[in-house]
């Protein structure tokens, strides 16, 4: 991947929401808000930074998007595995979800509808983006989980409300990822499909815990499909 990024001024001066992530920086790249045809919320992985995940933006080669990446406190959204009991990852998890919710609501307040908001993340950030989407299901522009799944231990009740109304969702992961069991990726695909999402799940044989070009291509296709769709009358 290219390592050079044109980064705009901070869209928000700090993360909204509840502690421990409130007050953290929110970085942006890409189009100015007044010219953006869509917005991508990027959630970084454990040990990474908002600046790291923003390096994905140039890989998409889409000029009309505003990319928004919040920073997690101590470079992690929650302390333990995403398969741990939910309470063990509080208050980090609830705080992280509230950060994403604040960004989505701010985007809508500034004139970008949910149908043009894309939720995307890698690893721990993918788990966060997917869990946020499930808890706030509606017609988003798209949801992309690079090496992630819904949060919680096995047999967690998936009694989410709402419907995705055919929101395109992409789940890409290794078939033997050291952090993300393939069974959880499949479960996530099943849950989101039942909730009305159009899910494309791909398990890559022996892939490392990373993002490959094919995954970027699929995610780019989701974005371009929304931006190039005929206007509704």
> Could you report the per-residue pLDDT of 49-106, keeping only the tens digit for each?
999 999 999 999 998 999 999 999 999 999 999 999 999 999 999 999 999 999 999 9
Give the up-direction half-sphere exposure of residue 18: CA atoms within 13 A in the CB hemisphere.
Answer: 11
This prediction has a pTM of: 0.94
**Helix (H) or strand (E) run with residue 170 in it:** strand 168-174
- pLDDT for the residue 5: 35
CA torsion sign, 218 to 219 to 220 to 223? positive
Average pLDDT in the 170-199 region?
Answer: 98
The pLDDT of residue 8 is above 50 = no
Cα-flanking dihedrals φ and ψ of residue 169, to 5°? -125, 135
What domains lie within the chain, and their CATH numbers?
14-227 (3.40.50.1820)
Using DSSP's 3-state secondary structure scheme, residue 54 falls into helix
């Amino acid at each position: 991947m290219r390592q050079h990024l044109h980064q705009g001024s901070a869209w928000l001066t700090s993360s909204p929401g509840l502690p421990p992530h409130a007050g953290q920086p929110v970085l942006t790249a890409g189009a100015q808000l007044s010219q953006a045809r869509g917005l991508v919320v990027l959630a970084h992985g454990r040990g990474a930074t908002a600046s790291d995940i923003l390096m994905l933006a140039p890989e998409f080669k889409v000029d009309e998007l505003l990319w928004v990446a919040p920073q997690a406190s101590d470079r992690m959204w929650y302390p333990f595995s995403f398969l741990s009991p939910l309470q063990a990852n509080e208050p980090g998890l609830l705080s992280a979800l509230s950060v994403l919710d604040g960004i989505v609501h701010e985007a809508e307040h500034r004139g970008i509808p949910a149908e043009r908001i894309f939720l995307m993340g890698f690893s721990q950030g993918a788990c966060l983006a997917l869990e946020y989407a499930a808890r706030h299901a509606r017609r988003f522009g798209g949801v992309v989980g690079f090496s992630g799944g819904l949060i919680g231990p096995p047999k967690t009740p998936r009694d989410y409300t709402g419907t995705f109304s055919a929101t395109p969702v992409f789940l890409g992961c290794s078939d033997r990822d050291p952090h993300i069991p393939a069974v959880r990726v499949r479960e996530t695909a099943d849950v989101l499909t039942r909730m009305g999402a159009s899910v494309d799940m791909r398990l890559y044989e022996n892939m490392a815990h990373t993002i490959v070009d094919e995954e970027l291509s699929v995610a780019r296709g989701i974005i371009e499909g929304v931006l190039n769709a005929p206007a509704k009358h």
